[in-house]
Amino acid sequence: MGDIRVWIDAYLDHLRVERALAQNTLDAYARDLNALAAHVGDVDPRTIKTAHLSSLLAGNESKGVSARSSARQLSALRGFFRFLVAECQTIDDPTTLLQGPDVTPRLPRVLTFDEVERLLATPDCSTDRGCLHASMLHLMYASGLRVTELCTVRVAGLDLQRGLVTVLGKGGKRRLVPIGEVALEHLSRYVASVRPRLLDGATRNETSLFISPRRKRFTRQGFWKIVRRYAAGAGIYPLPSPHKLRHSFATHLLRGGADLRAVQAMLGHADLGTTEIYTHVAADHVRQAHAKSHPRA
């Protein structure tokens, strides 16, 4: 059958080409599987038994590896051996009897409605820069975009008439997401008045919707600095990351009674279980309200 590292490379190629996983995910899978190769040596994968994998995972605890990281590694191992079974290279799947570590769901921190309102009101919309920044912040919260999706939105993907934006999500999947009226007002002003002034002769054919004052497409790091700056100006601490706006979008929708499947579609989650984490955040808010307000709580 060959060296295990050859099959690890084949599996990673499968994930890259057939499943179009994001590079960060591929890098995590590569680290986890290379740790297996280092643990068992250059062996034929068919010789790997459940005991080998158990000792690998047991060693994580002594190395200070978190339960969450071990659970992710087990997921990578399961996917790898299922791939080998599907390719008819092995008969037994040694991960079948493995039990993963108990992982307490990590609930995302979200901004309150008041914090969001203060953050969105901070940019000075009387200036071109403030109008640009306000448009980005409003769109991200109104549509729950990922940072990369926000920075790569194209002018052609913005439909101001119907109030929709087309974004390119993980795995190259496109989706349509609605935009709220307030965000549309900011975007309409930016597109009509501000964006043309940010373009010059060399960039007049730029297709990206958001152009930085340096006349280049916005980067993730650039937007991260914008969020932190305005959060500090609004007195929001600890300073949130841009992804907190996405978390807040989903949680606030569910608190308002939105359908879970609809939120899943807007967020671009392939698995409904990923979206369900926000129901726990919304429920936690309800419990806090009950504890604060009920006479016998």
- Please check whether residues 119 and 79 belong to one and the same domain: no
pLDDT given at position 190: 96
Query: Which of 16, 78, 170, 228 does the annotation list as catalytic?
Result: 170
Spell out the residues 6+ positions from residue 238 whose beta carbon is closer than 8 angstroms to its own.
none
- Please check whether residues 126 and 260 belong to one and the same domain: yes
Rg over alpha carbons for the chain, rounded to the nearest Å, is: 23
Q: Which amino acid is present at 37?
A: A
259 phi and psi angles, rounded to 5 deg: -70, 135
- Please check whether residues 134 and 26 belong to one and the same domain: no
- Please check whether residues 154 and 8 belong to one and the same domain: no
Q: Could you confirm whether 269 is annotated as catalytic?
A: yes
- Please check whether residues 138 and 269 belong to one and the same domain: yes
- Please check whether residues 80 and 16 belong to one and the same domain: yes
Structural domain includes residue 42: yes
Strand partners, 273: none
pLDDT exceeds cutoff 60 at 297: no
Q: Read off the tokens for 267.
A: 């967020």
Query: Which of 138, 246, 247, 252 does the annotation list as catalytic?
Result: 246
Cα–Cα dist 20/15, whole Å: 6
User: In terms of residue numbers, what domain contains 202?
Assistant: 113-292
Query: What is the tally of structural domains in the chain?
Result: 2
Q: Could you confirm whether 243 is annotated as catalytic?
A: yes
- What pTM was estimated for this model as a whole? 0.66
Q: Read off the tokens for 121.
A: 């009101």
Q: Could you confirm whether 138 is annotated as catalytic?
A: no
Q: Read off the tokens for 206.
A: 């730029």
- Please check whether residues 81 and 117 belong to one and the same domain: no
- Please check whether residues 126 and 246 belong to one and the same domain: yes
Exposure of 105 in the CB half-sphere (CA atoms within 13 A): 13
> 252-261, pLDDT tens digit by residue?
888 888 888 8
Say if CB 213 and CB 198 are below 8 A apart.
yes
Say if CB 145 and CB 176 are below 8 A apart.
no
pLDDT exceeds cutoff 60 at 183: yes
CB atoms closer than 10 angstroms to residue 251: 24
Exposure of 285 in the CB half-sphere (CA atoms within 13 A): 18
Ordered DSSP codes for 55-106: HHHHHHHHTT--HHHHHHHHHHHHHHHHHHHHTTS-S--TTTT--PPP----
> 146-162, pLDDT tens digit by residue?
999 999 999 999 999 99
Mean pLDDT of the chain: 85
Q: Could you confirm whether 246 is annotated as catalytic?
A: yes
184: domain CATH number is: 1.10.443.10
Place of tokens 């901070």: 122
Say if CB 210 and CB 136 are below 8 A apart.
yes
Structural domain includes residue 97: no
Q: Could you confirm whether 229 is annotated as catalytic?
A: no
Spell out the residues 6+ positions from residue 179 whose beta carbon is closer than 8 angstroms to its own.
139, 142, 143, 163, 164, 165, 187
- Please check whether residues 157 and 249 belong to one and the same domain: yes
pLDDT given at position 286: 45
Query: Which of 46, 118, 189, 243 does the annotation list as catalytic?
Result: 243
14: domain CATH number is: 1.10.150.130
Cα–Cα dist 150/163, whole Å: 16
- Please check whether residues 44 and 124 belong to one and the same domain: no
The better pLDDT of the pair 283, 77 is held by 77
- Please check whether residues 273 and 172 belong to one and the same domain: yes
Structural domain includes residue 93: no
Element (H, E) at 177: strand 174-178
Structural domain includes residue 75: yes
Query: Which of 133, 146, 247, 252 does the annotation list as catalytic?
Result: 146
Of 70-79, 272-281, 288-297, give the lowest mean pLDDT range: 288-297
Q: Could you confirm whether 63 is annotated as catalytic?
A: no
- Please check whether residues 174 and 44 belong to one and the same domain: no
